[in-house]
Structure 1
Amino acid sequence: MVSIGYFLACEEFAPQELVRQAKLAERAGFERLWISDHFHPWQDSQGQAAFVWSVIGALSEAVSLPVGTAVTCPTFRIHPAIIAQASATAAVQLGGRFTLGVGTGEALNEHILGQAWPPAPVRLQMLEEAVTLIRRLHTGKRTTFHGDYYSVDDARIYTLPDEPVPMAVSAFGPVATKTAARIGDAFATASPNAELVQLYRDSGGGQRVVQGGMKVCYAETEEAGLDLAHRLWATELLPGQVPSTLTRPKDFAAAAELVSREAVGRQMVCGPDVERHRAAVQSYVDAGFDELYVQQIGPNQDEFFRVWSEQVLPSFR
C-alpha cells in the first residue's frame, strides 16, 4: 500500500506557514513530508522562495515525520560539497529521517550566479558526478576529489548521521530514469506513469522506493479550486524542456497563459469531490508507487487536512 505524505511548497508559503502545515499534516495522519528547494518561485503570483535548509531545521523541532527535498539541485547554485554538509546536518537534526532528493534543476533557480546553462545530457553528467562526491563526503573521510566538473581539497564532514544519507534521484524521461536507477537510492517523479516506474525497476532500480508527487486544490466548488490552481500552478503543464530553460518568473507567467483551465482541471483534482481525490491517489497505487506526496494549493489548508484525514487517508491504510 502506498505511504502518503504531504508536499510543502516553498514557492507558495512563508516559512512559518510551512511549519504550521507540517504540524497539521502529522496530526491528520500524513506519514512523511516533501519540501521544495527553490531560489525563485515559478511565477511572482506564488510569492515565496524560502531557503529550504533553514525550514528543514525548524521542521526537525516541530514534527517527527521523515522529510525529503523535492528536489535539490546540487550542481550549480550550491556546490555539491556544501549540499553534502547541509544534508548531513539535516539528517542529524531529523534523527536519520531525511532523504536528499536531487535532480538536474531548472535555469530559473540555477542561472543566478551567471553560469552558462548546459543541455540536458551535460546536466545529467554533472548530477552523477555530484552524487559521487556527496557520497564520498558522507563517509566522513578526508576527501580530495578532482572530477570533470567539481573539485574539493582535503575536505571532511564532521557532523554526520549514523547511516549515510539516502538520495532519491528525480527523473521525467527514459534517459534520466535509467541514470536514477544507476546512481540513486530511490526514484522521484511527478506523474503516475507506470511505464516509467517499470523502466526504473528494470534498469537496476529493483525494489527501491518510487516516490511521486501531485497537486490538488480542495475547495468549496470545482470552479473556485480550478481558478486558484490555474492562477498559481498552470506552470506544471508546460511541456518538454520549457520548465528547465526559462530563467525568470515573469517568463513562466507568460508561458502559463498558454495553458488552459481545462488542461489544469484534467491534471489536478479541484473542488470538494472526495471520490476524485481518492481516485487521484489510486492512480499512483495502480502505477506501482511506494510513496505519494500531496500538495494542497492555496490558503484552504485546514479544511483540506480535515477532509483528507477523515475521508481520503483511511481508504489507503
Structure 2
Amino acid sequence: MTIPLRLGYKASAEQFGPGQLADFAVLAEEVGFDSVFISDHFQPWMHEGGHAPAAIPWLGAVGARTSRVLLGTSVLTPTFRYHPAVIAQAFATLGLLNPGRIVLGVGTGEALNEVTLGLDWPEPPERFQRLKESITLIRELWSGERVTFDGQFYSVTDATVYDRPDELVPIYIGAAGPAATKLAGRIADGFITTSGKEPALYVDTLLPALEEGITKAGRSDDDVDTLIEVKVSLADDRETALEKTRFWAPLALSPEEKRDVHDPIEMQRRAAELPIERAASRFIVSTDPDEHVEQISRYVELGFRHLVFHDPGVDQETFLRTYGTEILPRLRARFGA
C-alpha cells in the first residue's frame, strides 16, 4: 500500500483571530483541501497584529462546521502548559466528536509559549525525554481502563479517560533534528517538519533518521505519514509576493537567534531587522503557478505525501481559491490523489 497524496491548509493562528481563522478552514474544505492544521501558541510570534487562539477549542468549533477535512495540531506541546493526561482527555473527546478526522501533532515546545507562565525551561535533552514520556502516557490512557503511571516527569494514579475513541487518534511528532525524527519513525503515526531549509537537511539528516527509526521498530514506510508544511507566496508581481512574507520574518531567524526568546516584542524586534529577501527565504515566492507546482513537487519527490500549505498574506480567501483552482488539481494530476 502507498500512502495517498494529501494536500492541506495551514491555518495561521499567529496571524488571525479564531473566528476569521475558522471561516478560512471551512472555505479550505469547500475548495478541495484535504486537511487543516493549526499551531498551538500561548503568545503570538509578533506583538503587533499577532494572535494566539487556543487550538483545542478551535478544533472542536471547526469540526462542527466541517464534515470531511482532517483536523490537527502542528504542533502542540503536551509537556509544560498541559499535563499529558489532560491532552489525552481533550483529544479523545475531539476524536469522538469527529471520528477519523483528528490528529494530535506534538513537539518539544518553544520558550515563547512556556517561560511567560513561570515554567522552568530545561535544555533540549530533557524536553525530548518529556515528549517521549508524554506520548507513552497518552497512549496508555487511551488504551487502558484504569491507569497508574509513575514516570520520570509525569504520574497518574487510578486514572481513566472514560470517553476513549474506538480507534486511537493518530499522534504525529514535529521535528527539525535527527533525534525527534528518529522517534517519529519508531513510535509515531506521522512525522511533521517544515519547508524552506537547506535541501541537505531533508536528504542527509531528517529522512534518513526517519527511515532508521522505522526500520529499527520493524515498521513499514506506510505506517508513518510524512507531513511537511510548505510555505508559499503567490501574487501577481514579485514585490507583492515578497512583501507578503514580512509578517512571518521570525521564521527566518536561526534557532540560535530565537531559541530562548519568550517575549513577542523582542521576537518582533529581531525579525524587523531582517532584510526582505531573508524574511522571505523560507517561502516559495513566485508569480507563476507552474513554478509553484514545480518547486512543491520537489518535496513529493523526496517522499513527503502530506503537504500543508502556508500562505503569509492577509487575503487568505484569494489564496485558498487560487490554490484550490490552480495548484491542487495540477499536483493531484501529477502525483495521484
Q: 1:200 aligns with which of 206, 210, 213?
A: 210
What is the rounded CA distance, in whole Å, between the counterparts of 1:140 and 1:202 in structure 2? 30
Deviation at 1:46, TM superposition (A): 4.1
Q: Name the structure 1 match of 2:225.
A: 209
Answer yes or no: is 1:307 the counterpart of 2:316.
Answer: no
**Alpha-carbon distance in structure 2 between the residues aligned to 1:290 and 1:123:** 28
| Counterpart in the other structure of 2:18 | 15
Higher mean alpha-carbon deviation, 239-248 vs 180-189, is at: 239-248
Normalising by structure 2, we get a TM-score of 0.89
* DSSP 3-state at the match of 1:5: strand
Give RMSD over aligned pairs.
1.7
Task: Report % sequence identity.
Answer: 39
1:291 corresponds to which residue? 306
1:172-211 matches, within 5 Å, as 172-191=176-195, 193-195=202-204, 196-204=206-214, 206-207=220-221, 208-211=224-227
Deviation at 1:235, TM superposition (A): 0.7
Output the CA distance in 1 between the equivalents of 2:56 and 2:184: 23
1:137 equivalent in structure 2 = 141
Checking the alignment, whether the CA contact within 8 Å between 1:66 and 1:94 is kept in structure 2 is no
- In 2: Cα distance, 1:100 partner to 1:297 partner: 24
- Consecutive unaligned residues in structure 2, runs of 5 or more: 333-337
Shift in Å, 1:288: 0.7
Tell me whether 1:221 sits opposite 2:231 in the alignment.
Answer: no
Partner of 1:252: 267
Runs of 4+ in 1 over 6 A off after TM superposition: none
Name structure 1 gaps, 5 residues minimum: none
- TM-score of the pair, normalised by structure 1: 0.94
Further displaced range: 296-305 or 167-176: 296-305
How far has the Cα of 1:44 moved from its partner?
1.4
Please point out which of 38, 41, 44 is paired with 1:41.
Answer: 44
Q: In the TM superposition, what is the alpha-carbon distance from 1:140 to its structure 2 partner?
A: 4.4
1:5 pairs with 2:11: no
Aligned pairs for 1:35-184 (under 5 A) are: 35-64=38-67, 65-184=69-188
User: What is the distance in 2 between the residues matched to 1:213 and 1:267?
Assistant: 11
Three-state SS of the structure 2 residue aligned to 1:115 is coil
Contact 2:179 2:209 in 1 (8 A): no
Residues 173, 191 of structure 2: 8 Å contact kept: yes
Paired residue for 1:240? 255
Following superposition, the deviation at residue 251 of structure 1 comes to 1.7
Conserved? CA contact 1:223–1:271, under 8 Å: no
Give the secondary-structure state (helix, strand or coil) at the position aligned to 2:112.
helix
Q: 1:244 to 1:158 in 2, by over 3 A?
A: farther
CA contact (8 A) 1:96 1:162 kept: no
Cα shift readout 1:215-272 (whole Å, capped 9, x = no counterpart): 2233332212322312x10111111244332111112112213432112334213353
Q: How many residues are matched? A: 316
Letter in structure 2 aligned against 1:17: Q
Structure 1 residue identity aligned to 2:23: R
Amino acid of the residue matched to residue 218 of structure 1? L
